[in-house]
Structure 1
Amino acid sequence: MDESEPLVRSEERRLNSHCRWSSQTMETKVVENFRRRLKYFFMNPCEKYEARGRKPWKLILQILKIAIITIQLVSFGLSNGMMVTFREENLMTFRHLFLKEQKDLQLGSYALYTKKNVYDHIYYIIHRYIHLRNLTVGNLAYERINGEYTPLLVCQEFYRNSSIYPGNETFDIDPQIEKGTWATHVNFSLDFKRLLSVNIYLTLKTINLQTVRHHELPDCYDFHVMIVFDNRAHSGKIKVDVENDVRIYECRDWNVEGTSGKIDYLLLLFDSVVILSCFTSLILCTRSIINGIQLQFVSCSEHCT
Structure 2
Amino acid sequence: MPSGESNSIHSDRPHCQEGDLLRRKLKFFFMNPCEKWRAKRRFPWKMVLQLVKIFFVTAQLALFGFDRGGHVDFLEKSNIAFKHLFLEGWQPSFETMPYPPATGAFAVYTIPEFFSSVNYALRQYNLTEKVAIGTYHFSNPNATKPPVVMCNTFYKIGKISAHNQSFLFDDTKIEDCFQLLPVIEYDESTQSAVAIYDVEKFLLLRNKSINFDSIISVELKFSVKTVHLRKLSKVHTPDCFRFNISIFYDNSLHNGQMTVALSCSQEMLKCNGKVTSDVDEGPLLTLVTIFDAIVILVSSVSLFLCCRSLHRGNQLRKETSVFFEERLNHPLQVHSHFEFVNFWYIMIVINDLMTIVGSGLKIRIENKESAAYEACGVLLGTANLLVWFGVLRYLGFFEKYNILILTMKKSAPNILRFLVCAGVFYFGFTVCGWVVLGPYHLKFRTLSVASECLFALVNGDELYVTFATIPNTGSYVWWYSRVFLYVFISFFIYVVLSVFISVIMDTYETIKSYYEHGFPKTELQQFYDQITDEAHELFTQHPKQSRGSCCLCGCIPACIASCRNCASSRDSME
1:128 equivalent in alignment to 2:124: yes
How far off is 1:233 after superposition? 3.5
Task: Provide the residue aligned with 1:79 in structure 2.
Answer: 67
Query: In the alignment, residue 76 of structure 2 is paired with which amino acid?
Result: E
| CA 1:35–1:134: 2 relative to 1, 3 Å | same
Q: Which moved more, 1:41-50 or 1:280-289?
A: 280-289
1:287 equivalent in alignment to 2:308: yes
- Aligned equivalents of 1:136, 1:162: Cα separation in 2: 40
Instruction: Write the deviation string for residues 164-219 of structure 1: whole angstroms up to 9, x where unpaired.
Output: 33224344445543525242303324444444333221101122322658944433
Query: In the alignment, residue 72 of structure 2 is paired with which amino acid?
Result: V
- Aligned equivalents of 1:303, 1:114: Cα separation in 2: 83
1:45 equivalent in alignment to 2:33: yes
Instruction: Write the deviation string for residues 9-58 of structure 1: whole angstroms up to 9, x where unpaired.
Output: xxx46x88788778777765655444334322322211122233332122
1:188 equivalent in alignment to 2:208: no
Q: How many pairs align? A: 293
Helix, strand or coil at the partner of 2:202: coil
Which of 247, 250, 274 is the matching residue for 1:230?
250
Task: Provide the residue aligned with 1:9 in structure 2.
Answer: none
Query: In the alignment, residue 258 of structure 2 is paired with which amino acid?
Result: I
Contact conserved, 2:235 with 2:281, CA < 8 A, in 1?
Answer: no
Which of 225, 236, 242 is the matching residue for 2:262?
242
Helix, strand or coil at the partner of 1:279: helix
Contact conserved, 1:207 with 1:220, CA < 8 A, in 2?
Answer: yes
Give the gaps of 5 or more residues in structure 1. 1-11
Query: In the alignment, residue 115 of structure 2 is paired with which amino acid?
Result: Y
1:116 equivalent in alignment to 2:112: yes
Task: Provide the residue aligned with 2:386 in structure 1.
Answer: none
How far off is 1:163 after superposition? 4.2
Contact conserved, 1:205 with 1:220, CA < 8 A, in 2?
Answer: yes
Task: Provide the residue aligned with 1:8 in structure 2.
Answer: none
- Aligned equivalents of 1:162, 1:292: Cα separation in 2: 70
Task: Provide the residue aligned with 2:275 in structure 1.
Answer: 255
How far off is 1:82 after superposition? 3.1
| CA 1:41–1:146: 2 relative to 1, 3 Å | same
Give the gaps of 5 or more residues in structure 2. 96-103, 184-200, 204-208, 328-574
Identity, in percent, stands at 30
| CA 1:283–1:238: 2 relative to 1, 3 Å | closer
Instruction: Write the deviation string for residues 58-99 of structure 1: whole angstroms up to 9, x where unpaired.
Output: 211122223322333343344333333322222111111111
- Aligned equivalents of 2:130, 2:270: Cα separation in 1: 27
| CA 1:304–1:256: 2 relative to 1, 3 Å | farther
Q: How does 1:87-236 map to 2 (within 5 A)?
A: 87-106=75-94, 109-145=105-141, 148-176=144-172, 177=174, 179=176, 181-186=178-183, 187-189=201-203, 190-191=209-210, 192-210=212-230, 212=232, 215-236=235-256
The alignment's C-alpha RMSD in Å is 3.5
Query: In the alignment, residue 54 of structure 1 is paired with which amino acid?
Result: R
Q: Which has the higher strand share?
A: 1
Contact conserved, 1:158 with 1:194, CA < 8 A, in 2?
Answer: yes
- Aligned equivalents of 1:20, 1:301: Cα separation in 2: 20
TM (norm. structure 2) is 0.45
| CA 1:243–1:51: 2 relative to 1, 3 Å | same
Helix, strand or coil at the partner of 2:275: coil
Task: Provide the residue aligned with 1:7 in structure 2.
Answer: none
How far off is 1:304 after superposition? 4.2
Which of 278, 290, 294 is the matching residue for 2:299?
278
Contact conserved, 2:137 with 2:225, CA < 8 A, in 1?
Answer: yes
- Aligned equivalents of 1:18, 1:285: Cα separation in 2: 46
- Aligned equivalents of 2:158, 2:325: Cα separation in 1: 89
Query: In the alignment, residue 200 of structure 1 is paired with which amino acid?
Result: L
1:67 equivalent in alignment to 2:88: no
Contact conserved, 2:235 with 2:284, CA < 8 A, in 1?
Answer: yes
Larger radius of gyration: 1
Which of 13, 23, 29 is the matching residue for 1:35?
23
- Aligned equivalents of 2:12, 2:65: Cα separation in 1: 64
Q: Which moved more, 1:243-252 or 1:86-95?
A: 243-252
How far off is 1:148 after superposition? 3.9
- Aligned equivalents of 2:175, 2:29: Cα separation in 1: 74
- Aligned equivalents of 2:158, 2:10: Cα separation in 1: 105
- Aligned equivalents of 2:314, 2:165: Cα separation in 1: 82
- Aligned equivalents of 1:143, 1:199: Cα separation in 2: 19
Query: In the alignment, residue 179 of structure 1 is paired with which amino acid?
Result: D
- Aligned equivalents of 2:166, 2:314: Cα separation in 1: 82
Query: In the alignment, residue 185 of structure 1 is paired with which amino acid?
Result: P
Query: In the alignment, residue 218 of structure 1 is paired with which amino acid?
Result: P
TM (norm. structure 1) is 0.78
Contact conserved, 1:154 with 1:184, CA < 8 A, in 2?
Answer: no
- Aligned equivalents of 1:118, 1:298: Cα separation in 2: 77
| CA 1:114–1:29: 2 relative to 1, 3 Å | closer
Task: Provide the residue aligned with 1:56 in structure 2.
Answer: 44
- Aligned equivalents of 1:303, 1:116: Cα separation in 2: 86
Helix, strand or coil at the partner of 1:222: strand
How far off is 1:121 after superposition? 1.8
